[in-house]
Structure 1
Amino acid sequence: MKITVLFISLFAILSFNSFKEIPKKTKRPNIIYVLADDLGYGDLSAYNKNSKIQTPHLDQMASEGMMFTDAHTSSSVCTPTRYGIITGRYNWRSPLKQGVLTGNSKALIPTERTTVASMLKQQGYHTAFIGKWHLGWDWALKDSNAEKKEGWDAKDFDNIDFSKPVQNGPKELGFDYSYGHSGSLDMAPYVYVENGMPTQVPDTVSVNDGKFSWWRKGPTASDFVHEDVTPNFFRKSFKHIEAQAKTDQPFFLYLALPSPHTPILPTEEWQGKSQLNPYGDFVMMVDDYMGQLVKAIKDAGIEDNTLVIFTSDNGCSPAADIKGLEAQGHYPSDQYRGHKADIFEGGHRVPFIVKWPDYIKKGTVSNDIICTTDFMATAADITNYSLLDNEGEDSYSMLPLFKKPNPKKPIREATVHHSINGSFAIRQGDWKLAMCAGSGGWSGPKPGDKEVIETLPEIQLYNLKNDPGETTNLQDRYPEKVTALKTLLIRYIKEGRSTPGTPQPNDAISFIWKQIDFVNP
């Protein structure tokens, strides 16, 4: 009897350990993180059964891996979300308290901060970035004594010396190889930078004012063709995967797409395919390229032990002509309120698909709440790296969810959301508290609207289980819930972290932070 009990106990221990461990392979898994730009939660047919945009390749990826239904970006706009992915830290701990950077902005991430790339490089990975950076880097200047300009106007680029290397970019943050452009595809300068060096000196000034292919005026290199940027990044990625698969070194590829963000530029073969508008065509084009990416991984013979993540940096943008899409029965945010820039769910709830045949069971669905900041801790967990107290302060490992997608206890204590104007929300379980009266972004009620100023309560409380569309503000009915969530949010802000560990300082700033009023009432 004792022997039987002992055997059962040993079996339970072994089963628990094997549940947590990464499969014993000849090498650690390759990791590919694909970040779409301005893709809505409801744009994929795998997520929205009523979607008018067909995305068969991403649907297949979901059926061969895991879908997360409650995944969120750390912000509802580009730059801050990218900061969180790379650092595992909320952007508002940095000097970026609202908005996004320009194509001429200084580097946001200091080189002494650990990034997912520098960590994986330390763990023996070859690391690569291909795509849209949008985290700032320091362009070389013709006159170093001249005032550094950060802006949108073409004259703001006059002092850049494109014949010299940039500093404090991907190369200095842990990427062995890097190729991409500085900001969004509608932000000048339009120059590719490879391993810190511009590939060509711009020789023209381009501008396009079309409704769906609009971009800002600015210096443009002859090898930079707007319509070909997305295909170019995918081609580069295919070649990179093929080359790295021939080595014995595991690799990490961060592929940051500039699409389907503006300029909305589906190539000729995709124009009109969605029968909706150019945005729908563009989404279908991205889906097709994702199918080619998965095929490239398979053809390289590394499919089983390669972790592929596909997600978006925030919700769909109004530039997609959301009202026009909705008139045709397509809802980019599905049942959720708002869109890009907003504190509402449509601003930051995004598709999140993970495929890893050696470790993740096909066709699984997780309803647990995750955040894009969680990539840092996940990569650390996969490679048995122990994060220091000043690394990945807002990152929780998703690795346990890959085996047990719907645990009784969520992996995150709570999740903080952030809008374009710097408004906060905090989510815990079914409850979400927004520390603003309206959207905090671009949908109505907008910040500054008369309705916001004169009639709406200063805060919003929603039960997302009962009210996923955020239609009924419950702040006056559940004051104890408001107090509890606000207290937790303030603790997260003041302690410099939302994960267990020693409190950390937030970055010093030289200006008055408007949100300080509710932190120190």
Structure 2
Amino acid sequence: MKFQSFEITVWRGPVWSLVLACLGVANVMSQDATAAEETRPPNVVVFLVDDLGYMDIGANNENCFYETPNVDALAKSGVRFTDGYAANPVCSPTRYSLMTGKYPTRVDATNFFSGKRGGKFAPAPLNDHMPLKETTIAQAVKSKGYATFFAGKWHLGESEEYYPQNRGFDVNIGGHRIGGPYTGKRYFAPFENPQMAVESPAGDHLPDRLARDTAKFIADNKDQPFFAYLSFYSVHTPLMGRPDLVEKYKAKAASIAGEEFGDEEQIFGDKPRRVRVLQKHAVYAAMVEAMDEAVGKVLQQLKTSGVEDNTIVIFTSDNGGLSTSEGSPTSNLPLRGGKGWVYEGGIREPWIIRYPGITTAGSVCDEPICSIDLFPTVAAAAGVLVQHPIDGRDLLPVLKGGSLDRTALFWHYPHYSNQGGIPAGAIREGDWKLIERYEDGSVQLYNLREDVGEQNDIASRHPERVQEMRERLHAWYKTVDAKFLQKKPGSPEPWRP
């Protein structure tokens, strides 16, 4: 708060004393207001995009077919992570990790809710909700006086007691049990979403609706700390784009030549599986750009409300791009695989963080981070003392240009994904990544610095490293009480670590 300077010409006496007294009060008020501004914790805005691949934004891919100017500008104003991960190659488990700071394996939330596809073996037991005993990041910051807001996809429980409004969020716009915009006219109004109290006018576009609601929340709560979590349904199937944008990208795609698909490993089923190797899908491109426009609308509201300089902004995704099924709309190359796979294409995500006063604009970091790190990072910024066990780390040292004291990251996916992915576990230590397949216990080893596409399995050349990494992975399995593939009637016993 600033006070305008001025001059007063008066006579000395009782009135002069009163003027001095009033000026003294004003000075105290000014000091108190300045102190309040300095001690107010930062606001937090989280953008979570569904199914967005690492290579789907221009900031990560100079040859990106999709246009993402707002996300790219966000990257230039903060730090962009080249080695940021999701805790799982599909949605619900990663969403659990973002909310709790824990590996989803700890509560057997290891597949999307409720994905129970089998293959040669039956999948591991699946818990299909985020347990009510868990402390969410919304509950944590709410204890510090934050206003809390959720919009979009939730997918963390089948019934209302598990919905955002009962997990620490003051406002819930659209978050409920399903994993996509499957009610009403999908991405276009009427949405008929049971958690939208006010329906949109016919033809309204879902990402824009969610952005408007988020912007309104920011405007209404600019005078207090707030936590806004915009969890897009985009760019998840069904593949539906705004007509003007679809036409734009059809014209753009017409000038791009080359083979769009390549062969992919077949894990189950009898239909040949193909993987997209060229970004050229006009409808998907339209969905990506509409998401980017929605991000821009929220970022503009931060400026308009005068809170941009005291707001942490985090942008990420829940799993890799959809490249091997359901229309295979995007390519993750040079990353191998995609959603549903523990290869880099399924778990490496866009990660951008802007923390005013902490991050350096336009910086790039190759420190491996993960969705388990969101909870402790936001909690620390909000002044929350986390007193229960979590797996994630506060990223503040990395945001300041340092590193984390963390030996490894782990993945556990004991399921046959809808996208053809392999039931497998993985561990990353430094540049090294080991994958362990659960059907037969075979392993693959890659050096990601030299081979980010995971094309050259060098396990046979490094037997000691393989043994050491497997031992650490198996020790982690025990720590998180990991479950594995189950025997099917008439099938052999599945492998066990």
1:494 lines up with 2:488 in the alignment: no
2: distance between equivalents of 1:285 and 1:340? Answer: 21
Which residue of the partner structure matches residue 76 of structure 1?
Answer: 89
- Equivalence map 1:482-521=2 (5 Å): 482-496=466-480, 506=481, 521=497
Unaligned ranges ≥5, structure 2: 1-35, 116-125, 185-190, 254-281, 417-422
Q: Percent identity?
A: 33
The count of residues paired between Structure 1 and Structure 2 equals 403
Which residue of the partner structure matches residue 234 of structure 2?
Answer: 259
2: distance between equivalents of 1:474 and 1:253? Answer: 44
Secondary structure in structure 2 of the residue aligned to 1:288 = helix
Kept in 1: contact 2:66–2:288 (CA 8 A): yes
2: distance between equivalents of 1:73 and 1:90? Answer: 10
1:86 lines up with 2:99 in the alignment: yes
Task: State which of 197, 206, 214 in structure 2 corresponds to 1:199.
Answer: 197
Which residue of the partner structure matches residue 383 of structure 2?
Answer: 384
Secondary structure in structure 2 of the residue aligned to 1:351 = strand
Q: 1:413 to 1:517 in 2, by over 3 A?
A: farther
Amino acid in structure 1 at the alignment position of 2:130 = I
Which residue of the partner structure matches residue 207 of structure 2?
Answer: 230
Which residue of the partner structure matches residue 170 of structure 1?
Answer: 164
Deviation readout 1:374-416 (Å, 9 max, x if unpaired): 00111122133332243x2x21111111111x53xx4432111
Secondary structure in structure 1 of the residue aligned to 2:399 = helix
Which residue of the partner structure matches residue 454 of structure 2?
Answer: 470
Secondary structure in structure 2 of the residue aligned to 1:98 = coil
Task: State which of 399, 403, 411 in structure 1 corresponds to 2:400.
Answer: 403
1:268 CA displacement: 2.8
Q: 1:180 to 1:226 in 2, by over 3 A?
A: farther
Deviation readout 1:321-352 (Å, 9 max, x if unpaired): 54x76xxxxxx324211111111100010111
1: distance between equivalents of 2:44 and 2:304? Answer: 16
Q: 1:38 to 1:510 in 2, by over 3 A?
A: closer
Structure 1 segments of 4+ aligned residues over 4 angstroms from their partners: 186-191, 222-227, 319-322, 509-514
Which residue of the partner structure matches residue 279 of structure 1?
Answer: 284
- Equivalence map 1:55-204=2 (5 Å): 55-101=68-114, 108-138=129-159, 166-182=160-176, 183-187=178-182, 191-194=192-195, 199=197
1:510 CA displacement: 13
Kept in 1: contact 2:163–2:175 (CA 8 A): no
1:348 lines up with 2:347 in the alignment: yes
Secondary structure in structure 2 of the residue aligned to 1:432 = strand
2: distance between equivalents of 1:372 and 1:513? Answer: 32
Kept in 2: contact 1:191–1:224 (CA 8 A): no
1:296 CA displacement: 1.0
Kept in 1: contact 2:88–2:347 (CA 8 A): yes
Unaligned ranges ≥5, structure 1: 1-22, 139-165, 201-221, 326-331, 438-446, 448-452, 497-505
1:177 CA displacement: 1.6
Task: State which of 288, 291, 303 in structure 1 corresponds to 2:293.
Answer: 288
2: distance between equivalents of 1:511 and 1:423? Answer: 10
Which residue of the partner structure matches residue 301 of structure 1?
Answer: 306
Kept in 2: contact 1:101–1:134 (CA 8 A): no
2: distance between equivalents of 1:434 and 1:171? Answer: 38
Amino acid in structure 1 at the alignment position of 2:161 = Q
Kept in 2: contact 1:71–1:352 (CA 8 A): yes
**Normalised by the size of structure 1, how large is the TM-score?**
0.71
Kept in 2: contact 1:97–1:513 (CA 8 A): no
Deviation readout 1:42-98 (Å, 9 max, x if unpaired): 111111112122211111111111100000000111111101100111112213233
Q: 1:167 to 1:511 in 2, by over 3 A?
A: farther
Which of the pair has more CA radius of gyration? 2
Which residue of the partner structure matches residue 319 of structure 2?
Answer: 314
2: distance between equivalents of 1:84 and 1:225? Answer: 35
1: distance between equivalents of 2:447 and 2:485? Answer: 35
1:494 CA displacement: 1.8
Kept in 2: contact 1:435–1:458 (CA 8 A): yes
2: distance between equivalents of 1:396 and 1:29? Answer: 19
- Equivalence map 1:381-460=2 (5 Å): 381-390=380-389, 392=390, 394-404=391-401, 406-407=402-403, 410-419=404-413, 421=416, 422-436=423-437, 458-460=442-444
**Normalised by the size of structure 2, how large is the TM-score?**
0.74
Amino acid in structure 1 at the alignment position of 2:335 = Y
Kept in 2: contact 1:348–1:417 (CA 8 A): no
1:512 CA displacement: 5.6
Secondary structure in structure 1 of the residue aligned to 2:45 = strand
Q: 1:286 to 1:97 in 2, by over 3 A?
A: closer
182-191 vs 353-362, which moves further: 182-191
Amino acid in structure 2 at the alignment position of 1:431 = W
Secondary structure in structure 1 of the residue aligned to 2:451 = coil
Q: CA RMSD for the aligned pairs?
A: 3.0
Kept in 2: contact 1:85–1:376 (CA 8 A): yes
Which residue of the partner structure matches residue 54 of structure 2?
Answer: 41
Amino acid in structure 1 at the alignment position of 2:306 = G
